[in-house]
Structure 1
Amino acid sequence: MEEDNFKKIPFGQLGIIVHESCKELGKKIDKYLVQKRKDMLAECSEEYQVEKLQESYIIESEIIRFSNGEGKGHLKETIRGKDIFVIADVGNYSVTYNMFGQENRMSPDDHFQDIKRLISAIAGKARRIHVIMPLLYESRQDKRNSRESLDCAMALQELENLGVENIFTFDAHEPRVQNAIPQTGFESLHSTYQIIKALKRVEEDLNLDLDKDKLMVISPDTGAMNRAIYYAGVLGSDVGLFYKRRDYKKIVNGQNPIVQHEYMGAEVAGKDVLIVDDMIASGGSVFDISKELKKKNARNIFVAVSFTFFTNGIEKMDEYYKKGYIQKLFSTNLTYIPQKFKDSDWFEEVDMSKLIAHLIDTVNYDESVSPLLDATDKIKGIL
């Protein structure tokens, strides 16, 4: 039986440090947290209340930049004895800073350096430090092939050495990278429930709870197969796979170019198709796959991802939407989304701020996050 609210005692006074890259998401998270604590305190009598309601849990902070590009982290209020959560979006390329009179866009490296600056400014005064990095830094460089760096593992070890107790991310490209920090908490959460909820709300023609035989879940490559199997399992649908045939004699933009996508799976003719993956970078794979599926007479094609970049622009996505290749793209707000994406008819934003607020509240009260890692029952509930 769940503990009564008056028995719940936070590990430490809650404090959130929101990096400039994550301001919009941070405000939403803070709003949910304030309301959640307000509701909780209203349920228990004043004599049992162990904390006071705050108007905001965000700790004022800033990154001060020098004219040559160097910087330092600055906290504007005390954090002594607090349970601190540092939130940053390393994929936000809209943040800029001035260097030698020129405006520079911040790269993932710059954002990660700022995370370390903010942790350094805490100077061991906090009771605990947690880092919430929705897009895991260097997650695409998580394993070594030949003479290569292991950037993701090295970054996690740096955070561990700075005294970070827990690291939370979403849909890590390779969750086994946590083996680099066996003594530090590492959790990779998923956006499956929120995406399926958005699918059900937006697409009335897509009867997820009735027409299971008319829906197929497709994995764009072997790496995303486990994700596709999970979606197919909770939706009660068939699953298919596209295998990427690559030219290993060439390297283009840091990777071996794809020669062709080979499909393996059941017949897709006349069925709605849901392509699921962790991210869209340039979008090339999704475009090729959607074209192939249309050749096989698939009905409507939907794409669901946690992170959307479109590094080469959205012109081709606009084209494929107009041609009817792709019906809708569902993507979370876990990383920066330009306004032109949000304004597009083919884009549907999936808000994840409530889940992150629930995560912070759970960890602050030192409770298990296991219920947040598996949303199977909640998905079955909405279906």
Structure 2
Amino acid sequence: MNNQDFNYRNGELGIVALESCKGIGEKIDNRIKAKRESEETFLIPTEEIRFSNGEGKVKLSESVRGKDIYILCDVGNYSCTYNMFGIENHKGPDEHFQDIKRTVSAIRGKARRITVIMPLLYESRQHRRKGRESLDCALALQELERLGVQEVLTFDAHDPNVQNAIPLMSFENLYPTYDIVKTIITEEKDIETNKDKMLVISPDTGAMDRAIYYASVLGVDVGLFYKRRDHSTIVNGKNPIVKHEYMGRDVENQDVLIVDDMIASGESVLDIAKELKARKARNIYVATTFAFFTEGLDKFQKYYDDNIISRVYSTNLTYIPPELEKTEWFRKVDMSELISRIIHRLNKDESIAKFMDATYVLHELLNNKKK
């Protein structure tokens, strides 16, 4: 099948990589061009314009009529700035989401299909109600549906059940497990993935399913830390953690992999690492889909210098600042190959089921390492 054939089966491919996704968008474009042996870019030139009072608009510089459009946006990218009344402002998640809506509006219904790829799902931390409060993630998804978006692709949603808010719209929740494990095995030459030498740890009850999956794929045991909270107090919108209680087998002289969907301040992960080190764990690795480091890198650097943590692995699905990439203890997991494969197949109207479950390819990867 030649390039012309699969370009037009679902509409000619067009990728709108918004400012927040320029870097990974170019990588994805290059990989798809290589797959299709094409010299033409699939990226559609886009301008995100801000007026001096903070209002904005999105302008597309070429036709999208009849195209299969994929809008890429990283709502967690805080490095994007604009001037308002002479003051430099950083874009937050709300402004990035508004730019997605502006892009859909600029398309004006001329595209054959619109898919939004939000690696970090907008407002995913506010996915359910506890009392009289807003339900932001569900509202955002319903808004995209009303605007004519046919499909949303995201990674490691805080709670995938939020898709129940849009039962008639396609919602795909993907996981970077294979890419993370592959990067760890490539980087950590001495790590031994067997039951006697390694343990996977869940930092809380919410991440237990993720930890069980990692453990079952790697063929090792799983442990759990339970967060005992003070429910009489609220600090920064949360009940503060009083103590981390451990449930699981002995970790002495074991390599430990702590897995979670995100690192915000990192306080919880570091507390657990300290507890594990006190129990004489050997090397402590952290694997996460999104690394925010909302309170800076200094504390992680200190824990690395003190030999408490060995390495932190995270994807480039959200913004990684240059100073983080330069540290000895951080390793980036590039996801552009997976996203390019998914866009390539969806545009050809082919199944992406094999990307939803990485178990088989992970077993292949680990068997090859043992050989």
Name the TM-score class by shorter chain. over 0.9
- Pair 1:330-2:329 in alignment: no
Residue pair 2:3, 2:36 contacting (<8 A) in 1 also: no
Residues 307-318 of structure 1 mapped to structure 2, 5 A cutoff: 307-318=290-301
Report the alpha carbon displacement of residue 308 of structure 1 after superposing the two structures with TM: 0.4
Residues 1-383 of structure 1 mapped to structure 2, 5 A cutoff: 10-38=9-37, 53-208=38-193, 211-383=194-366
Counterparts of 1:212 and 1:382, CA distance in 2? 17
Amino acid at match of 2:161: R
Structure 2 residue aligned with 1:47: none
SS of 1:213's partner is coil
Amino acid at match of 2:147: L
Amino acid at match of 1:83: D
Question: Deviation per CA, 1:90-129, whole angstroms, max 9, x where unpaired?
Answer: 0000000110111000000010001100110000000000
Report the alpha carbon displacement of residue 134 of structure 1 after superposing the two structures with TM: 0.3
Counterparts of 1:307 and 1:75, CA distance in 2? 29
Identity percentage over the alignment? Answer: 60
Residue pair 1:281, 1:310 contacting (<8 A) in 2 also: yes
Residue pair 1:200, 1:207 contacting (<8 A) in 2 also: no
Please list every run of at least 4 consecutive aligned residues from structure 1 whose deviation after the TM superposition is greater than 3 angstroms.
Answer: 3-9
Counterparts of 1:236 and 1:6, CA distance in 2? 45
Amino acid at match of 2:85: F
Counterparts of 1:28 and 1:296, CA distance in 2? 43
Structure 1 residue aligned with 2:369: none
Report the alpha carbon displacement of residue 4 of structure 1 after superposing the two structures with TM: 10
Question: Deviation per CA, 1:129-159, whole angstroms, max 9, x where unpaired?
Answer: 0000000000000000010100000000010
Counterparts of 2:232 and 2:155, CA distance in 1? 33
Amino acid at match of 2:47: E
Report the alpha carbon displacement of residue 362 of structure 1 after superposing the two structures with TM: 1.0
Report the alpha carbon displacement of residue 54 of structure 1 after superposing the two structures with TM: 4.5
Counterparts of 2:71 and 2:3, CA distance in 1? 26
Question: Deviation per CA, 1:311-369, whole angstroms, max 9, x where unpaired?
Answer: 11110000000011100000000000001110000000000000000010111111111
SS of 2:79's partner is coil
Counterparts of 1:314 and 1:329, CA distance in 2? 12
Counterparts of 2:4 and 2:248, CA distance in 1? 53
Report the alpha carbon displacement of residue 255 of structure 1 after superposing the two structures with TM: 1.0
Residue pair 2:198, 2:255 contacting (<8 A) in 1 also: yes
Residue pair 2:77, 2:319 contacting (<8 A) in 1 also: yes
Counterparts of 1:245 and 1:58, CA distance in 2? 48
Report the alpha carbon displacement of residue 212 of structure 1 after superposing the two structures with TM: 3.2
Counterparts of 2:286 and 2:316, CA distance in 1? 15
Structure 2 residue aligned with 1:44: none
Residue pair 1:32, 1:357 contacting (<8 A) in 2 also: yes
Counterparts of 2:340 and 2:3, CA distance in 1? 18
Question: Deviation per CA, 1:28-87, whole angstroms, max 9, x where unpaired?
Answer: 00010100111xxxxxxxxxxxxxx35210000111111100001110000000000000
Counterparts of 1:84 and 1:4, CA distance in 2? 20
Report the alpha carbon displacement of residue 6 of structure 1 after superposing the two structures with TM: 9.3
Unaligned runs of 5+ in 1: 39-52
Counterparts of 1:350 and 1:177, CA distance in 2? 26
